[in-house]
Amino acid sequence: MVCEVNDTFKEISIPAVMLPQDVGATLRENMNRNLNVSVRLHSPDRPSVDVAEVFLWLMAVGTILCASYWSAWSDREALIEQEKLLKDAADDYLRTDENSYSSVVDITTKSAILFVVIASCFLVLLYKFMSYRFIEILVVIFCIGGIEGLQTCLVALLSCFRFFDHARDSYVKIPFLGAVSYLTLGVTPFCIAFAVVWAAYRRVSIAWIGQDILGIALIITVLQIVRVPNLKVGTVLLSCAFLYDIFWVFISKWLFHKSVMIVVARGDNSGEDGIPMLLKIPRMFDTWGGYSIIGFGDIILPGLLVAFSLRYDWLAKKNLRGGYFIWTIMAYGLGLLVTYLALNLMDGHGQPALLYIVPFMLGTLLTLGNKQRELENLWNKGEPERICPHEPTQ
């Protein structure tokens, strides 16, 4: 078609068709074999809300609930043990108990800022060097973390049953590892086999189940080990993560001509269906296919604040309604719900979940703390005022 200089504008419509990668490969193969290929164009309406998003919402909230209760329960058990030692006035044993509980890592303000800086550098590294080989390295790292997480969760779960008491309390010394319980030794081969099978068959249609199991176990373990000691550190961490999410989803387009976060999450130029560091569920009633996904950071970082609120409630002996935990987890769920609403309103364009989650959570905690006149304790100490029962009264 040729347009002359003086021709009036003519509306030209050229249809563009988007096909899944496997369908495109099949068409190309048939054309290379000189077969007759015909294509029927059909553009069905996408559902406003897919069931996968509902299940993913439940999965994220449920993971934080489990991890928070485990973290708070561990803290309460350690506190009970310390009180027993105080009653016996055994200072030497008290110091020993504190050293044995050093496996828990408290985040500081500096480490919170440093974490976001390192995460940004790692994200740029993924963006610049995204390839099949790089994804293979991420899969190995994910499997190592998944094995550790799955092992920790299974040992804790099986330890609740009397049948495994002997295996839990019996230890054997292993070089470089020290004393390891028989229960851990029995669980570890299964965890390794599970991760290896997932890595080998991760392109199978149902492989997302294995990825989610490993991912959830890893998230729960991280939330069990890492803690925010007070609301000040939690506010700094989530505020930095809030800016991090906005910058790498929206502002990075001006610097890199693409949204860095979205490119990395999709695994562009890698030949893989996204990176493994996320939970995903296939869209069930969407004829376009694809997955609904949520990154680990969108669960772990808010989860740290939810676990902190539950620990505070238990130390302050607050009931569910009068405490902070129920309102914090509701704020997270509402923020995540708004994220999915924005995702659908933006026609599937990737949204930074922390953009919606962080204001809901911090606003809720700060408002409730101020209303109950406990904001100073929440902000600085991270625990309620307690009077030691062993100190003599005046």
pLDDT digit string, tens, across residues 370-384? 999 999 999 988 888
Q: Does the pLDDT of residue 99 top 50, yes or no?
A: no
Please state, in angstroms and as integers, the Cα–Cα distance from residue 36 to each residue in 30, 44, 53, following that order. 8, 25, 39
| Least confident interval from 5-9, 56-60, 265-269 | 5-9
Q: What is the pLDDT of residue 298?
A: 94
Q: What is the pLDDT of residue 88?
A: 59
Domain count, the chain: 1
Q: Does the pLDDT of residue 390 top 70, yes or no?
A: no
CB proximity list for 290: less than 8 A, separation 6 or greater = 282, 283
Q: What is the mean pLDDT of the chain?
A: 84
From the DSSP assignment, how many helices (H) and strands (E) are in the chain? 15, 6
Strands (E), the chain: 105-106, 171-174, 178-181, 226-227, 278-282, 291-295
Q: Does the pLDDT of residue 178 top 80, yes or no?
A: no
Binning pLDDT at 50, 70 and 90, where does residue 394 land? very low
Q: Is 342 a domain residue?
A: yes
**Range 308-319 average pLDDT:** 89
**Range 348-352 average pLDDT:** 76
Q: 44 vs 89, which has greater pLDDT?
A: 44
How many Å apart are CA 246 and CA 53, to the nearest integer? Answer: 22
Q: Does the pLDDT of residue 346 top 90, yes or no?
A: no
What distance, in Å, lies between the first and last C-alpha atoms of the chain?
99
Q: Is 17 a domain residue?
A: no
Q: What is the pLDDT of residue 93?
A: 42
Q: What is the pLDDT of residue 393?
A: 44
Instruction: Give pLDDT tens digits for 179-192.
Output: 888 898 999 999 99
Q: Does the pLDDT of residue 389 top 60, yes or no?
A: no
Q: Is 394 a domain residue?
A: no
Q: Is 156 a domain residue?
A: no
Q: 158 vs 42, which has greater pLDDT?
A: 158
Strands 278-282 and 291-295 come out as antiparallel
Q: What is the pLDDT of residue 100?
A: 39
> Which structural domain, as residue segments, surrounds residue 295?
48-133+227-380
**pTM for this structure?**
0.82
**Range 300-317 average pLDDT:** 92
Q: What is the pLDDT of residue 98?
A: 39
**Range 321-334 average pLDDT:** 93
Q: Does the pLDDT of residue 46 top 90, yes or no?
A: no
Q: Is the dihedral of CA 98, 100, 101, 103 positive or negative?
A: positive
Q: What are phi and psi of 294, to 5 degrees?
A: -150, 135
**Range 196-211 average pLDDT:** 92
**Range 283-293 average pLDDT:** 79
**Range 149-164 average pLDDT:** 90
How many Å apart are CA 332 and CA 362, to the nearest integer? Answer: 10
Helical axes 51-87 vs 297-316, angle rounded to 10°: 40
Q: 130 vs 387, which has greater pLDDT?
A: 130
How many Å apart are CA 159 and CA 178, to the nearest integer? Answer: 20
Q: Is 39 a domain residue?
A: no
Q: Does the pLDDT of residue 101 top 60, yes or no?
A: no
Q: Does the pLDDT of residue 271 top 80, yes or no?
A: no
Q: Is 366 a domain residue?
A: yes
Binning pLDDT at 50, 70 and 90, where does residue 95 land? very low
Q: Is 95 a domain residue?
A: yes
Q: What is the secondary structure of 35-53 as a DSSP string?
A: ---------PPPPSS-HHH
Q: Does the pLDDT of residue 332 top 70, yes or no?
A: yes
Q: What is the pLDDT of residue 30?
A: 85
Q: What is the pLDDT of residue 32?
A: 87
Q: What is the pLDDT of residue 304?
A: 95
| Least confident interval from 31-45, 143-157, 210-224, 292-306 | 31-45
Instruction: Please identify every residue annotated as catalytic.
Output: 245, 298
